[in-house]
Amino acid sequence: MTSQTAWPAGVIARYLTKAAEITGDHEATVDVRQNREYGHSYDCRGCGNGSSSGDTRAVHAGAQKHAETCRAILRPNPAVGGAQ
């Protein structure tokens, strides 16, 4: 079992992407947030794709559907020794 890191502020749900499944990098997620302008939104941490809507179920469904197919990997963090 891998250790869990704290979720970013405002994230209320996370979906692991296909890339997370392939690489084992559980930071490769699609994050769902509640926001004032649109109700809820999601953003993929791998490819940057996202969407927002006042329909909570639609946002969760969209986030899950995107996560099931996204193979984009996270950009390395230079502070941890990765290339930029």
Per-residue pLDDT tens digits of the chain, which is 84 residues long: 455 678 889 999 999 999 999 999 899 999 999 988 779 999 999 999 999 999 999 999 999 999 999 999 887 777 655 544
**Can you tell me which residue has the tokens 């704290």?**
6
Predicted pLDDT at 71 = 96
- The residue extents of the domains of the chain are 11-73
* 58 C-beta neighbours (distance < 10 Å), count: 14
**Predicted TM-score (pTM) of this structure:** 0.81
Pairing of strands 50-53, 39-44: antiparallel
CA distance 45 to 27: 8
Single-letter amino acid, residue 26:
H
Predicted pLDDT at 1 = 42
